[in-house]
Structure formats: C-alpha cells, structure tokens
Amino acid sequence: MFRGSPLLGVSVLLLTTCTPLRPEVTLEPGVSLKTYHLVAVGPVTDRSGFPFHYEVGDTLRSHFADELRKNGVRVVPVTTDTTVPVLFVVSSLDRFRSGALTPQLPSAMGTSQCVFSTRLLDGQSGRKLGEIVSSEIVDQEDTPVMTPQALLFTCVRLTADEIHRRIH
C-alpha cells in the first residue's frame, strides 16, 4: 500500500507518461563552451516531413533565441563582428509526430514525439564544436493533451537550457 503523499504518486505517474529526455551532448575533444558568452542563432531546417501549415523553422528559431535570453544568455545577430568568441548554432527539426492533432477521435490519439538537433560552431572560424540532440516523447493516451506547438517548444527549451548549463 502506498503511504506517501498523494501528490508524489501523481508526480510519479506524470513522469512515466511524459518523458523529456536529457539532451544528448557530443563535444569535440578538448572543447568547452565556457569561453562563449555570446550566441548567434542560425537557421532551423525542417527535416521532419510533417505537414506544418506555417514556416516552422522560423518559429522555432525565434523561440530558441527567446529561450536562450530567458536563461540569461546574450543572443546576438548572426552577422555580429566581434573579437569575443561567438557560439553559432544551426538546428534542425529531425522528427515530429503529434498524437494530439485529432482530440475529437480518441482512437487516433497516440504517442507524440519531436527530435531537435543543434550543431555548435565557432562563430569566427566555423569549426564544429559539437552537437546537442533534444528529444521529447509524450504518450497522449495517458496524459493531458499536449499541443503540437507545446511539444515543439519543449524540445527547443531543452536545448536552450543545455547551452546555458554548458556556457555558465
């Protein structure tokens, strides 16, 4: 019999049905992002094949910059000319599936997933520093419906949070 707090039981249930995965970070040998105090957010390419009805790349790029700023990261234009090291990030939405698109048809509900990859480059030399891959998986049958936009923004936020952790 469970004798803990009822809220703890609910928290454990939510953790098992909504699975934000810690981003996978791969840095080139000897690379540290601690010297980068400026970040330039480059283009976001949609490789998901999902039929978005708007330019999802532009939306994700804008949200990515906003999330970095919320974390206290200084975001600069891609064309910044400075002697201070700039971390240049170029991203892609590699996979997207939403089980929340047909809430009126419960049998169509299912697992939602996004995979957001970000290449980390030195802004001055263009040298590849590493990559961050953020994933989010939500079982829509067991949790409240997560909108497609919320799912996308969660993947982007996970990446922004990881960049913040790595440069501070």
pLDDT at 6 over 70: no
pLDDT above 70 as % of the chain = 77
pLDDT at 9 over 90: no
Structure tokens given for 109:
């509900």
Alpha-helical (H) ranges within 39-104 are 56-70
pLDDT, residue 14, reads: 39
Helices and strands of the chain, counted as H and E runs:
3, 6
pLDDT, residue 109, reads: 54
99 band by pLDDT with thresholds 50, 70 and 90: confident
**pTM for the model:** 0.81
3-state class (DSSP) for residue 45: strand
pLDDT, residue 20, reads: 53
pLDDT at 121 over 50: yes
Structure tokens given for 85:
């090291």
Beta bridge partners of residue 28, listed in sequence order: none
pLDDT at 114 over 90: yes
Q: Does domain 24-167 have CATH number 3.40.50.10610?
A: yes
Is pLDDT larger for residue 134 or for residue 145? 134
Cβ contact 93:46 at 8 Å: yes
Find which of 29-43, 91-105, 132-146 is predicted with most confidence, using mean pLDDT: 29-43
pLDDT, residue 163, reads: 97
Q: Where are the domains of the chain?
A: 24-167
Distance CA 26, CA 20 (A): 18
pLDDT at 115 over 90: yes
Question: Where are the extended beta strands (E) located within 28-110?
Answer: 38-46, 74-76, 86-97
Q: pLDDT tens digit string along 42-86?
A: 999 999 999 999 999 999 999 999 999 999 999 999 987 888 999
Distance CA 108, CA 112 (A): 12
CA 136 to each of CA 34, 79, 108, 151: distance values in angstroms, whole numbers, following the listed order: 26, 32, 19, 7
